[in-house]
Structure 1
């Protein structure tokens, strides 16, 4: 009897030790900002094990040497890591929004900003530079003929107008990022909402520019917070697209 009890205890200890030696622990951070990321999905491609980071960005998943772990979260570039040791370690993900800098929104839709870039000369109060063209003779082709046209005068109104346009262009870019990150197609992947409720959620909780660009803004945490608030609303309120009515 004692012998079988000893064997059972030894087997349990061996199983526990095996489990302890075959797990990967870690914390997932946003690259550069070092903000811990909650709600990041981790999958072991070799064993098909899955888990998710907690509020402090921590996780633990079954893994062994040479396994491949895939990290994927809303608003972040997916990353694949090969397990080279089973010590607790840190992992870093890059935000997707950094890839949207070339998109500019104007009155006619989205366009590549590089195609409309107008060079400026900082020595002349950031006035725009117009290249001289072949336009002042019969049969002129309109091609650039060398040299630039510069206005050599400036005043505060001109500078203020230029700063205002730059601010508007910057806000247009940020608005484009918000619209992409908070589109219905993106949000429905992370919250169990459909149709009118999904539309209402997007309309209610799309962040404004100030919120979206704040240093402590984390899109995954923001969506999670908004969803918890949304499900507490009465059913009829969840179908409204505005807090002021339907």
Structure 2
């Protein structure tokens, strides 16, 4: 009897999970023209899964109720859309994005009503004119493939100093930092970040300001030129490498 009850419990949990986690559909349009937007970047901030729109502006992504989807597109306001039961129930919705130039002319900021099924929180995407460079074999060889000498010492010092910046970021934001590995393992997100230089997606996922992201990379002894010119993917890998060093050294400290 206990075995049967256990199996029923497992089945019920699996069924509930499958109902909550589903593939949802949508179409992203230019709010001014109603034309579809291709290659809009979409990230589920909860599960850290990525997607992008096709030439018809359509996308598919797995999500659960109350997950937040983050939409970004160069020259347009980024928006956050919360997944609701209605979205899962009624299927495809239309998400409209506003061009940045038009958005800047608006004096009154008011909620954007999409379909009546979702809530939208919009904010501007900053545009940067930093010089961009291409490295053959994008995932290797940033600054000779390593941080500068002393990077490990910098991380180690943060572990023993509660006032250290890295200690406060890595130690007090473990949930956000764990998303680094999820981002690195998702090919869609890696491809998305490889062509971005604005740090917007990293800021949204890690819940950090741009200045904090720059400071993390700086404290991990990457050069100022790297910080200014690296793609978001390179920055992701740099922070991830630094965090992995922090975890290893922190475990050794605990055993000591």
Q: Indicate the structure (1 or 2) with the bigger Cα radius of gyration.
A: 1
TM-score (norm 1): 0.35
Name the one with the larger helix percent. Answer: 2
Name the one with the larger strand percent. Answer: 1
